[in-house]
Amino acid sequence: MLRFLVLLYGIVSYLMFLATFMYWLGFLSNMFVPKGIDSEPTAPLPLALAINLLLILIFGLQHSTMARPVFKAKWMRYVPRHIERSTYVLISNLCMLAIFYFWQPVGGTIWQVENQTGQLVLQGLFLAGAGLTVFSTFLINHFDLLGLRQVWLYFRGERYTALKFGVPGVYKYVRHPLYVGWFMTLWITPHMTAAHLFFAVAFTTYVLIAIRFEERDLVAHFGPVYADYRDSVPMLIPKVRKT
């Protein structure tokens, strides 16, 4: 019974991630969701900016701190290893949903593409970014990243084995294609408002800082093989090969 409950917990956490990711796309595109990033402003500008910054700080601190090995070592005294990743994903989802719910639109247009063809191109690139984000997770084991592999192995009574380092597909050209896709969903839009720009800048800043800590942990875990990879493959922008 316990194994079944653990599996169910992991599945619920995973499904919540899928729902949150889909809401992320709707939130940024102001489509198919009850409250988008550019809904009608309701709070004074200083208060709105303060609330939005606090929401992103909470998410960033949670998302980055809980991913650090030092925190994990202490955290797993209370949370079993087989649900640690699912719990991390669940709490990250809750923090992101809090952003969606409490976000304060502020209005103001930074740029707006009126041309219909231009709008379609940008919307297509936005969806391509979403696709790259998801595709990148499957290249490095989507289900391990989101905790399903761990709970499935526990359900089957099998021991968890850590993933080996590899450089599949687009990881040969950039070290963090997942973040490249995420940045595309943040920045590519036919209508960039002040609120959207604030959101994009804040999240981009967070990710660029978090990458440094993440790569430090990867070097500590994988050793020279990751250090060599870091030194030879660009972080986010592919090298242009000279012909």
**pLDDT tens per residue, the chain (243 residues)?**
889 999 999 999 999 999 999 999 999 999 999 999 998 888 898 999 999 999 999 999 999 999 998 998 889 889 999 999 999 999 999 999 999 999 999 888 999 999 999 999 999 999 999 999 999 999 999 999 999 999 999 999 999 998 899 999 999 999 999 999 999 999 999 999 999 999 999 999 999 999 999 999 999 999 999 999 999 999 999 987 655
Question: Per the structure block, which two tokens stand in for 25?
Answer: 């796309």
Q: How far apart are CA 191 and CA 173, in angstroms?
A: 30
Question: Per the structure block, which two tokens stand in for 160?
Answer: 């968890």
Domain boundaries, the chain: 2-232
> Which backbone phi and psi does 112 adopt, to 5 degrees?
-150, 125
Q: How far apart are CA 139 and CA 15, in angstroms?
A: 20
| Angle, helix 81-102 to helix 2-29, in steps of 10 degrees | 30
Q: What confidence tens digit (pLDDT) does each residue in 191-232 have? A: 999 999 999 999 999 999 999 999 999 999 999 999 999 999
Question: Per the structure block, which two tokens stand in for 215?
Answer: 């790569």
**Residue 242: its pLDDT value, please?**
57
C-alpha to C-alpha distances, 170 to 26, 140, 188, 238, nearest whole angstrom: 26, 11, 20, 10
Scanning 110-193, the segments in alpha helix (DSSP H) are 116-139, 142-145, 148-156, 177-187
In one-letter notation, the amino acid at residue 88 is Y
**Residue 241: its pLDDT value, please?**
65
Q: How far apart are CA 66 and CA 29, in angstroms?
A: 29
C-alpha to C-alpha distances, 23 to 93, 137, 179, 209, 220, nearest whole angstrom: 11, 18, 18, 25, 35
Parallel, antiparallel or unpaired: strands 191-193 and 109-112: antiparallel
**Residue 80: its pLDDT value, please?**
92
- 193: β partners: 109
Helix (H) or strand (E) holding 50: helix 45-65
**Residue 112: its pLDDT value, please?**
95
